[in-house]
Structure 1
Amino acid sequence: MDLLAPAFEALGIIADPLRLLILFGGVALGLFIGVVPGIGGLVGMALLLPFTYAMDPYAAMAFLIGMWSVTPTADTIPSIMLGVPGGAGSAATVMDGYPMARRGEAARALGASYTASVLGGLFGAILLGISIPVLRPFMLAFGTPELLALCVLGLMLVAAVSQGQILKGLVAASFGVILASVGDESQTGTLRWTFDTLYLWEGLPIVALVLGLFAIPEIIDVGASKQAIAGDQAKITKGGQMQGVRDALKNWRIVLNSSWLGSVLGAVPGLGGATIDWIAYGSAARAVKDGQKTFGTGDVRGVIAAEAANNSKEGGALVPTIAFGIPGSATMAILLGAFIMHGIQPGPKLLSENLDITYTIVWTLVIGNILGAAICFAFVSQLAKLALIPAGILVPTVMAIIFIGAYQATRDIGDLIVLLGAGIVGWVMKRFGWPRAALLLGVVLGGLVEQYLFISTSRYGFDWLQRPGVIIIFMIPVVYLIFRLYQFLRDLNRKKATVAAPAVASGAGAAAAAADPVETLSPVDRFAVPAIWVAMALFFGLAFLTSGDWRFAAKLMPQTVAAAALIFIICMAIATWLKVRSGVPITAVKRNPNSDALAGMPEGEAYRRVGVMALYPLALFGGTLLIGLLPSMLLYMPLFMRVEGKLTWRRALLISVPLWIAIFVLFDVLLNVPWPQSLLGDTFPMLRRQLSGII
Structure 2
Amino acid sequence: MLEALSQSFVTIFTFSHIVWLVTGVLAGLSIGVLPGLGGIVGMSILLPVIYGMEPDIAFALLVGMVAVIPTSDTFPSVLMGIPGSAASQATIMDGYPMAKRGEATRALSAAFTASLMGGLVGAVTLSLVIPIAKPLILAFGSPELFMLTVLGLSMVGILAGKRPIRGLLAACLGLVIGAIGAAPAAAEYRFTFGTEYMMDGIPLVVVGLGLFAFPEIIDLLIKGKAISEKTTIGRGWVKGVKDALAHKLLVLRCSFIGVIIGFLPGLGGSVVDWIAYGHVVQITKDKPQFGKGDIRGVIAPESANNAKEGGGLIPTLLFGIPGSGSMAVFLGGMLILGIQPGPSMVTEHLDLVYTSVWSLALANIVGAALCVILARPIAQLTKVRYAYIAPFMILIITLACYQATQTWGDLIALLVMGILGWIMKQFGWPRPAALIGYVLAANLETYLFISAQRFGWTWLWRPGVLVIGAIIVISLILGLRKTAAIDKAAQKSEAKQ
- TM, length-normalised to structure 1: 0.53
Instruction: Check if 1:151 corresponds to 2:149.
Output: yes
Equivalent residue, structure 2, for 1:161: 160
Instruction: Check if 1:380 corresponds to 2:375.
Output: yes
- 1:620-665 deviation digits (Å, cap 9, x = unpaired): xxxxxxxxxxxxxxxxxxxxxxxxxxxxxxxxxxxxxxxxxxxxxx
For the residues of structure 2 that align with 1:336 and 1:48, how far apart are their CA atoms?
11
Equivalent residue, structure 2, for 1:202: 200
Q: Secondary structure at the match of 1:329?
A: helix
Instruction: State the 1:72 CA deviation.
Output: 0.7
For the residues of structure 2 that align with 1:240 and 1:151, how far apart are their CA atoms?
47
Equivalent residue, structure 1, for 2:168: 170
Whether the aligned pair in 1 keeps the contact of 2:118 and 2:252 (CA below 8 Å) is no
User: 1:71 pairs with 59, 65, 69, which one?
Assistant: 65
1:451-600 aligned within 5 A: 451-458=446-453, 459-461=455-457, 464=460, 467-488=465-486, 490-491=488-489, 494-495=492-493, 498-499=495-496
Whichever residue aligns with residue 309 of structure 2, its letter is: N
- 1:410-452 deviation digits (Å, cap 9, x = unpaired): 3322221122112222222222333323322322333333333
Equivalent residue, structure 2, for 1:440: 435
Instruction: Check if 1:136 corresponds to 2:127.
Output: no
Whether the aligned pair in 2 keeps the contact of 1:65 and 1:361 (CA below 8 Å) is yes
Cα 1:395/1:331, change in 2 over 3 Å: closer
Equivalent residue, structure 2, for 1:281: 272
User: 1:227 pairs with 225, 228, 250, which one?
Assistant: 225
For the residues of structure 2 that align with 1:437 and 1:6, how far apart are their CA atoms?
34
Instruction: Check if 1:253 corresponds to 2:253.
Output: yes
Instruction: State the 1:138 CA deviation.
Output: 0.5
1:601-680 aligned within 5 A: none
Instruction: Check if 1:212 corresponds to 2:214.
Output: no
Instruction: State the 1:185 CA deviation.
Output: 0.9
- 1:112-151 deviation digits (Å, cap 9, x = unpaired): 7755654454345434544444332200223344433433
Whether the aligned pair in 2 keeps the contact of 1:30 and 1:44 (CA below 8 Å) is no
Q: Give the root-mean-square deviation of aligned CA atoms.
A: 4.6
1:332-351 aligned within 5 A: 332-333=334-335
Instruction: Check if 1:415 corresponds to 2:413.
Output: no
For the residues of structure 2 that align with 1:172 and 1:348, how far apart are their CA atoms?
35
Cα 1:367/1:196, change in 2 over 3 Å: same
Cα 1:144/1:279, change in 2 over 3 Å: farther
- Unpaired runs of at least 5, structure 2: 32-40, 78-83, 283-289, 291-296, 321-329
Q: Secondary structure at the match of 2:87?
A: helix
Whether the aligned pair in 1 keeps the contact of 2:318 and 2:345 (CA below 8 Å) is no
Equivalent residue, structure 1, for 2:293: none
Whether the aligned pair in 2 keeps the contact of 1:93 and 1:306 (CA below 8 Å) is yes
- Unpaired runs of at least 5, structure 1: 50-59, 84-89, 266-270, 322-327, 338-344, 500-517, 519-695
- 1:659-691 deviation digits (Å, cap 9, x = unpaired): xxxxxxxxxxxxxxxxxxxxxxxxxxxxxxxxx
For the residues of structure 2 that align with 1:316 and 1:25, how far apart are their CA atoms?
27
Instruction: State the 1:29 CA deviation.
Output: 1.4
Whether the aligned pair in 2 keeps the contact of 1:124 and 1:313 (CA below 8 Å) is no
Q: Secondary structure at the match of 1:481?
A: helix
Q: Secondary structure at the match of 2:387?
A: helix
Equivalent residue, structure 2, for 1:615: none
Whether the aligned pair in 2 keeps the contact of 1:209 and 1:419 (CA below 8 Å) is yes
- TM, length-normalised to structure 2: 0.70
- 1:207-250 deviation digits (Å, cap 9, x = unpaired): 222222222122222222211234xx456644588759839953
Q: Secondary structure at the match of 1:388?
A: coil
For the residues of structure 2 that align with 1:425 and 1:149, how far apart are their CA atoms?
29
Instruction: State the 1:154 CA deviation.
Output: 3.2
Equivalent residue, structure 2, for 1:186: 184
Whether the aligned pair in 1 keeps the contact of 2:126 and 2:313 (CA below 8 Å) is no
Q: Secondary structure at the match of 2:382?
A: helix
Cα 1:32/1:448, change in 2 over 3 Å: same
For the residues of structure 2 that align with 1:490 and 1:213, how far apart are their CA atoms?
31
Instruction: State the 1:308 CA deviation.
Output: 2.1
For the residues of structure 2 that align with 1:199 and 1:109, how far apart are their CA atoms?
49
For the residues of structure 2 that align with 1:108 and 1:161, how far apart are their CA atoms?
32
For the residues of structure 2 that align with 1:432 and 1:279, how far apart are their CA atoms?
16
Instruction: State the 1:288 CA deviation.
Output: 4.2
For the residues of structure 1 that align with 2:360 and 2:96, how far apart are their CA atoms?
33
Q: Secondary structure at the match of 1:246?
A: helix
For the residues of structure 2 that align with 1:91 and 1:227, how far apart are their CA atoms?
19
Q: Secondary structure at the match of 1:433?
A: coil
Identity of aligned residues (%): 28
Query: Looking at both structures, which has the greater relative contact order when contacts are Cα pairs under 8 Å and sequence separation is at least 6?
Result: 2
Instruction: Check if 1:24 corresponds to 2:24.
Output: no
Cα 1:493/1:193, change in 2 over 3 Å: closer
Instruction: Check if 1:431 corresponds to 2:426.
Output: yes
Cα 1:414/1:282, change in 2 over 3 Å: farther
Whether the aligned pair in 1 keeps the contact of 2:178 and 2:438 (CA below 8 Å) is yes
Whichever residue aligns with residue 212 of structure 2, its letter is: F
Instruction: State the 1:370 CA deviation.
Output: 2.0
For the residues of structure 2 that align with 1:120 and 1:335, how far apart are their CA atoms?
29
Equivalent residue, structure 2, for 1:404: 399
Instruction: State the 1:409 CA deviation.
Output: 2.9
Instruction: Check if 1:370 corresponds to 2:365.
Output: yes
Cα 1:209/1:240, change in 2 over 3 Å: farther
Q: Secondary structure at the match of 2:192?
A: coil
Cα 1:111/1:199, change in 2 over 3 Å: farther
1:285-364 aligned within 5 A: 288=279, 304-314=303-313, 329-333=331-335, 363-364=358-359
Whichever residue aligns with residue 424 of structure 1, its letter is: I
For the residues of structure 2 that align with 1:211 and 1:358, how far apart are their CA atoms?
27
- 1:494-518 deviation digits (Å, cap 9, x = unpaired): 447x44xxxxxxxxxxxxxxxxxx6
Count of residue pairs brought into register by the alignment: 441
Q: Secondary structure at the match of 2:175?
A: helix
Instruction: State the 1:171 CA deviation.
Output: 2.2
For the residues of structure 1 that align with 2:410 and 2:96, how far apart are their CA atoms?
30
Q: Single out whichever of 474-483 and 276-285 deviates more from structure 2.
A: 276-285
Whichever residue aligns with residue 329 of structure 1, its letter is: L
Whether the aligned pair in 2 keeps the contact of 1:180 and 1:446 (CA below 8 Å) is yes
Whether the aligned pair in 2 keeps the contact of 1:113 and 1:303 (CA below 8 Å) is yes
Report which of the two structures shows the higher radius of gyration computed on alpha carbons. Answer: 1
